[in-house]
């Protein structure tokens, strides 16, 4: 007679682990990126497709395991990720600088640990002893100077785009059609998620590395997407 070890769990679970092409864990703040999702009953179906959205990465394999049925034993899904390499826009030095209006009244804000933000003039020259002395300010235009993007924050006053983030002052309630992963202001996945069917108030839509998020808490964000229904 063969015996099988029983793995007792309070709830059936699936752990989503993020690895590189060699199978090594992808680290976030020095710790392997993973998220543990608990179900209710053995035999219930699960859909963890939302966990395949990781800022800064493409998922190359493992997504076919994100849908299944909870079992008695703990289950593990490994998603293989590759970093997204975004081209850096460049403008030749001899090309006229073009100033472009910012769409939808975007605000420029400093990161929580951003420190003093340097400011520059219309030509991208550093203004001595000048710093951004407020946490956020409405921006009217952006421009590229020698290949670097700048946001206008005042008359002849600009900040580098990589030193700040932008957001729209929009508030409402987000109701989740599926579990939604949580991210910080840098777009790093926090290894946690908000549950399907819950509703959360948001007070701004931020843009991080070209991707939009709802802010649902202090330095806590969820992705803007079809899996979220919003009301004002």
User: Is-contact 18 188, C-beta < 8 A?
Assistant: no
Mean pLDDT, range 51-76, rounded to an integer? 87
Q: CA gyration radius for the chain?
A: 22
Q: Which 8-state DSSP code applies to residue 25? A: B
The pTM (predicted TM-score) of the whole model is: 0.60
Write down the H helix ranges in 25-154: none
* Gap between the Cα atoms of 47 and 75, Å rounded: 13
Same fold, 13-83 and 99-167: no
Residue 226 tokens, joined = 């079809």
- Which is more confident, 32 or 112? 32
Query: Is the model's pLDDT at 205 over the cut of 90?
Result: yes
- pLDDT score, position 89: 53
User: What is the pLDDT confidence band of residue 202, given thresholds at 50, 70 and 90?
Assistant: very high
- pLDDT score, position 141: 86
- pLDDT score, position 215: 94
- Per CATH, the homologous superfamily of domain 13-83 is Putative peptidoglycan bound protein (lpxtg motif) (3.10.20.320)
> Which CATH architecture fits 99-167?
Roll (2.30)
- pLDDT score, position 103: 65
Residue 172 tokens, joined = 């409402």
Q: Return the domain boundaries, the chain.
A: 13-83, 99-167, 170-231
Phi, psi dihedral angles at 103 (to 5 degrees): -80, 150
* Gap between the Cα atoms of 105 and 87, Å rounded: 26
Percent of the chain residues topping a pLDDT of 70: 85
């Amino acid at each position: 007679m063969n015996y099988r070890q029983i793995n007792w769990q309070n709830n059936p679970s699936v752990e989503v682990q993020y690895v590189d092409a060699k199978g090594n864990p992808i680290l976030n703040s020095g710790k392997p990126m993973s998220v543990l999702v608990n179900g209710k009953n053995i035999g219930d179906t699960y859909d963890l497709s939302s966990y395949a959205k990781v800022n800064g990465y493409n998922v190359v394999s493992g997504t076919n395991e994100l849908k299944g049925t909870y079992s008695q034993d703990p289950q593990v899904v490994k998603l293989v990720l590759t970093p997204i390499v975004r081209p850096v826009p460049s403008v030749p030095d001899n090309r006229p600088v073009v100033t472009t209006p910012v769409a939808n009244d975007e605000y420029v804000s400093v990161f929580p640990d951003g420190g003093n933000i340097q400011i520059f003039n219309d030509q991208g020259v550093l203004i001595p002893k000048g710093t951004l002395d407020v946490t956020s300010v409405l921006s009217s235009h952006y421009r590229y100077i020698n290949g670097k993007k700048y946001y206008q924050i005042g008359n002849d006053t600009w900040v580098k785009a990589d030193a700040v983030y932008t957001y729209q002052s929009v508030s409402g309630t987000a109701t989740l059609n599926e579990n939604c992963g949580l991210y910080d202001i840098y777009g790093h996945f926090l290894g946690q998620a908000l549950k399907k069917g819950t509703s959360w108030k948001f007070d701004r839509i931020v843009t991080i590395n070209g991707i939009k998020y709802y802010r649902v808490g202090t330095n806590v964000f969820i992705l803007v997407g079809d899996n979220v229904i919003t009301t004002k």
